[in-house]
Amino acid sequence: MSRRSFPLNAVDAFLKTARHLNLTHAAKELCLTQGAVSRKIAALEAWFGFPLFERHARGLRLSSQGSALLPELQSAFEHLLTVAEQARAQQTVIRLKAPTCAVRWLVPRLLKVEREQPDLQIALTTTTDHHVNFKTESYDAAIVFGTHMSAGDLLFEEALTPVISPLRAGVPLGSMTLLHPTRDKTDWSLWLANQPQPALAMHKNQHFDTMDLAITAAIQGLGVAIADETLVEEDVRAGRLARPYAQSIQTGASYRLVYRAAPDDENGLSAFRDCLLNRG
């Protein structure tokens, strides 16, 4: 038989059975039926071309060939498990907290991390909370949002602009529902206050709990949303959204990447940071 046909998954069954010399006990440890264990051993014996056990009325006994093979197979199997455990231990897990509104920007960059840094595993938690407290929260890094922040690395500054579905491009904006990313009208009020002349009136309004929900509603044609231009950049590029106005208004708020500990190669944060900041 060829090397590729070797029933590797039957080795553990042989080792367990050799230790117990009892199919029932081996099956219980492997969480298999007695018949399944018996078939695995039979497949291994068929590949070797000789019996591994002698069957007696009182139970099993290793054959001479089985006794000779046992220490070698045991050593090889233990080595395989050690290599696997070491490989798993080499993967670095980064626990990341991010506000839901930043996910549209974040996901393409997580794909880049996965592609360029396969040893990094990002355990992402999304939340409507825009801050983090590393003393009470078990995250390694977080994306935070707010004004007057200086900690960590700047990802991008918030700049608001209206967006609509291209399918509604011919509809007068004044007749459309204004989609608000919060329960108040702060963002739309700020944008309208910075226009040279009244562009829209707040006659019809729909409020959402997050900017991401307002953006999704705009994509589906519910109305015109006020959104951060960076967060909708990919949607505009892909044709899912259109910008009826070229200008945007900075709010003074920003998105920043902060860390529990200083980023370095050992904790994986340095490589993760470079991917998010488009370095290298």
Q: How far is the C-alpha of 108 from the C-alpha of 104, rounded, in Å?
A: 8
Hey, is 265 helix, strand or coil? coil
Domains of the chain: 3-89 (1.10.10.10), 94-156+254-276 (3.40.190.10), 157-250 (3.40.190.10)
Write down the pLDDT at residue 3. Answer: 67
Within 117-196, residue ranges assigned H as helices are 186-193
- 199 vs 203, which has greater pLDDT? 203
- 15 vs 268, which has greater pLDDT? 15
**pLDDT tens digits for 209-233?**
889 999 999 999 999 999 999 999 9
Within the chain, residue ranges assigned H as helices are 11-20, 23-30, 34-48, 64-90, 103-116, 186-193, 211-219, 233-237, 269-276
- For residue 148, give every residue at least 6 positions away whose Cβ sits within 8 Å of its Cβ, in sequence order, or none: 252
The first and second tokens of residue 39, run together, are 């078939």
16: left (phi over 0), alpha (psi -120 to 50) or beta: alpha
Hey, is 277 helix, strand or coil? coil
Q: Summarize the confidence of residues 106-116 as an average pLDDT.
A: 90
Task: Let me know: does 102 contact 255? Beta carbons within 8 Å.
Answer: yes
Write down the pLDDT at residue 89. Answer: 61
Chain mean pLDDT for the chain: 89
Task: Let me know: does 232 contact 241? Beta carbons within 8 Å.
Answer: yes
Write down the pLDDT at residue 33. Answer: 92
pTM here?
0.65
Q: Summarize the confidence of residues 152-170 as an average pLDDT.
A: 93
The angle formed by the CA atoms of residues 224, 228 and 233, to the nearest 5 degrees, is 90
Write down the pLDDT at residue 200. Answer: 77
- CA separation (Å) from 127 to 76, 96, 130, 183, 219? 47, 11, 8, 17, 22
Write down the pLDDT at residue 144. Answer: 95
Position 155 pLDDT exceeds 80: yes
**pLDDT tens digits for 33-87?**
999 999 999 999 999 999 999 988 778 899 999 999 999 999 998 888 888 776 6
Q: How far is the C-alpha of 113 from the C-alpha of 84, rounded, in Å?
A: 23
- Residue 236 burial (C-beta neighbours within 10 Å; 0-12, 13-18, 19+): middle
- pLDDT band (50, 70, 90) for residue 197: confident
pLDDT exceeding 70 applies to what percent of the chain?
95
- pLDDT band (50, 70, 90) for residue 4: low
Position 98 pLDDT exceeds 60: yes
Q: Summarize the confidence of residues 13-22 as an average pLDDT.
A: 91
Least confident range of 29-38, 138-147, 194-203, 230-239 = 194-203
Q: Summarize the confidence of residues 112-141 as an average pLDDT.
A: 89
Write down the pLDDT at residue 87. Answer: 64
Task: Let me know: does 185 contact 197? Beta carbons within 8 Å.
Answer: no
CA torsion through residues 259, 262, 268, 269, sign: positive
The first and second tokens of residue 154, run together, are 């700047």
Q: How far is the C-alpha of 217 from the C-alpha of 163, rounded, in Å?
A: 11
**What length is written for the chain?**
280
